[in-house]
Structure 1
Amino acid sequence: MKEVYQYTTLATPAQAEFKDKGSRFLGFAWPVQDEAEIRQHLQILREQHHKARHCCYAWRLGVDGNRFRANDDGEPAGSAGRPILGQIDSAAVTDVLVAVVRYFGGTLLGVPGLIHAYKTVTAAAIDATEKIQQDICQQLQLHCEYAHLSEALRWCKQHQAQVLKQDLQQNCSLQVCIPLRRLENALAVLRKLRIIDVKLDN
Structure 2
Amino acid sequence: MPFTLTGLCEYREEIRKSRFIALAAPIASAVEAQAFIEQHSDLNASHNCWAWKLADQYRSSDDGEPGGTAGRPILAAIEAQDCDQVAVVVIRWYGGIQLGTGGLARAYGGSANKCLQGAEKIALISRVPLRCACSFSELALVKLRVAQIATLQTQLADLSRGRILLQR
Mapped pair 1:112 → 2:102: yes
Cα deviation for residue 38 of structure 1 reads 0.5
72, 81, 85: which one pairs with 1:91?
A: 81
TM-score (ref. length: structure 2): 0.76
Cα deviation for residue 182 of structure 1 reads 8.6
TM-score (ref. length: structure 1): 0.64
SS of the aligned residue for 1:137 comes to: coil
1:175-190 residue pairs with structure 2 within 5 A?
185=153
Residue number in structure 1 paired with 2:139: none
Residue number in structure 1 paired with 2:6: 11
Paired-residue identity, %? 30
Over 3 Å counting, the alpha-carbon distance change for 1:74 and 1:9 in structure 2 is: same
Moved over 2 A (4+): 137-140, 181-185, 191-194
Over 3 Å counting, the alpha-carbon distance change for 1:28 and 1:182 in structure 2 is: farther
Residue number in structure 2 paired with 1:150: none
* Aligned length, in residue pairs: 149
Give, as a single letter, the amino acid of the residue that structure 2 aligns with 1:16. Y
64, 73, 85: which one pairs with 1:74?
A: 64
Gaps of 5+ in 1: 1-5, 143-157, 159-180
Over 3 Å counting, the alpha-carbon distance change for 1:103 and 1:183 in structure 2 is: farther
Give, as a single letter, the amino acid of the residue that structure 1 aligns with 2:21. L
- Are the counterparts in 2 of residues 55 and 101 from structure 1 also a CA contact under 8 Å? yes
Cα deviation for residue 87 of structure 1 reads 0.8
Gaps of 5+ in 2: 132-142, 144-148
Over 3 Å counting, the alpha-carbon distance change for 1:74 and 1:135 in structure 2 is: same
Over 3 Å counting, the alpha-carbon distance change for 1:192 and 1:135 in structure 2 is: farther
